[in-house]
Amino acid sequence: MSFAEPAALLLALLAVPVGWVVLRFRPAGVELPSLAGLRALRPGPRVRLARFLPLVRIPAIVLLAIAAAGPRVGDANAVIPADGIDIALAIDTSSSMDALLASSRTRIAVTRDVVREFIRGRENDRIGVVAFASTSVALSPPTLDYRALDTVIADLETGFLPDGTAIGLGISEGLNMLRDSPAASRAVILLTDGQHNEPSLSPEDATDLAIALRIRLYTIGVVTPGRGGGAEVDAALLTEIAERTGGRYFEADTPEELAAVYEEIGSLEKSSVGRERFERFTYLAPWFVIPAAALLLGEIALRGSWLRRLSA
């Protein structure tokens, strides 16, 4: 056990003068001309209790002093992490994501599973989710509630946004999600299977904003060699915008490769700020306040009831 405010233990020294006052100034006895007839008499229990009852103030003061010092028990194995990484996952939900990536699974379905597994592998990192097609929308702000994120990703489908591929808006939505984050490290992971084809914010301009905000971009191109379902990704553009921010471009054409890409990004984006070790404390003050209060209230109750006639 340790104390948050050990100096408060000095208050226990007040018990010394209190005890001295109680013992020194007890009510004087009645003077009698002779004690010969009273020698056989002994004081009853109420008399003895009334004499020593004020002494309960001494342990009460000691208990209150201990409570004021903030007694606590720490778990030496508890580690409270420092601020982790904030990540925005920007996912292409255009109609081309309905093309097959595996023998019977669409790109969006495989992406859902891989991203959910990626989230399960994170720890102490806040993650947000962005969907984009011809426009973009934030589906979840950065959060540590991985269970809620899992539900968001599990429900992700194509077709709920107007069709198109606005990579610039996907990036900017993720940046806007992270711009006020106090995290030491921030990253946008953008996945797409097509080329930017919207007249809105260009990927290059969005990248300039990422550089200004010191947020890294990781880009993932999902392709299916030999299959239809959409234009190939602009690998040169995705490589350029990622590397300009200190990130990287990855390409995947199988579910296994896509899973490996997210795993590699996860290894690159480990919490570089490390961990701060603290003890997690359970505070014990109530265990000292309650008996102290019981002692003081007990004294008051006895003086107001059973011992009233003696003090009258």
- Secondary structure (DSSP) of 105-160: -BHHHHHHHHHHHHHHT--S-EEEEEEESSSEEEEEEEES-HHHHHHHHHT--SSS
**pTM (two decimals):** 0.61
Q: What's the confidence (pLDDT) of residue 189?
A: 95
Q: What's the confidence (pLDDT) of residue 145?
A: 92
Comparing 73 with 306, the larger pLDDT belongs to 73
Instruction: Give the span between the Cα atoms of 168 and 131, in whole angstroms.
Output: 12
Query: Three-state SS across 222-271?
Result: ECCCCCCCCCCCCHHHHHHHHHHCCCCEEEECCHHHHHHHHHHHHHHCCC
Q: What's the confidence (pLDDT) of residue 218?
A: 95
Is residue 185 a contact partner of residue 215, using CB atoms and an 8 Å limit?
no
**Domain boundaries, given as residue ranges, for the chain:** 2-24+44-76+279-311, 85-268
Q: What's the confidence (pLDDT) of residue 42?
A: 60
Tell me the average pLDDT across 241-255: 92
Within 10 Å of residue 85's Cβ, how many Cβ atoms?
23
Instruction: Give the span between the Cα atoms of 290 and 280, in whole angstroms.
Output: 23
Comparing 103 with 265, the larger pLDDT belongs to 265
Instruction: Give the span between the Cα atoms of 305 and 202, in whole angstroms.
Output: 85
- Taking 70 as the threshold, does the pLDDT of residue 278 lie above it? no
Among the ranges given (187-191, 255-259, 283-287), the one the predictor scored with the smallest mean pLDDT: 283-287
- Taking 70 as the threshold, does the pLDDT of residue 270 lie above it? no
* 176-199: pLDDT as tens digits: 999 998 887 899 999 999 899 998
Provide the phi-psi class of 53: left if phi over 0, else alpha when psi is between -120 and 50, else beta.
alpha
* 288-304: pLDDT as tens digits: 888 878 877 877 776 66
Comparing 61 with 155, the larger pLDDT belongs to 155
Pick the closest to residue 16 from 61, 81, 79, 68 (CA basis).
61
Tell me the average pLDDT across 268-292: 66
- Mean pLDDT over each residue of the chain, to the nearest integer: 80
Q: What's the confidence (pLDDT) of residue 267?
A: 80
Pick the closest to residue 125 from 149, 103, 95 (CA basis).
149
Comparing 98 with 274, the larger pLDDT belongs to 98
* 122-144: pLDDT as tens digits: 888 899 999 999 999 999 999 99
Q: What's the confidence (pLDDT) of residue 230?
A: 45
Q: What's the confidence (pLDDT) of residue 127?
A: 93
Q: What's the confidence (pLDDT) of residue 3?
A: 74
Is residue 203 a contact partner of residue 167, using CB atoms and an 8 Å limit?
yes
The fold of 85-268 is Rossmann fold (3.40.50)
- Taking 70 as the threshold, does the pLDDT of residue 308 lie above it? no
Which residue bears the tokens 């004294």? 299
Lateral strand order in the sheet of 185-192: 136-143, 126-132, 85-92, 185-192, 216-222, 249-252
Q: What's the confidence (pLDDT) of residue 74?
A: 66
Confidence of residue 276 (pLDDT cuts 50, 70, 90): very low
Q: What's the confidence (pLDDT) of residue 286?
A: 82
* 27-81: pLDDT as tens digits: 555 455 555 555 555 655 655 556 666 677 778 788 887 878 788 876 555 544 5
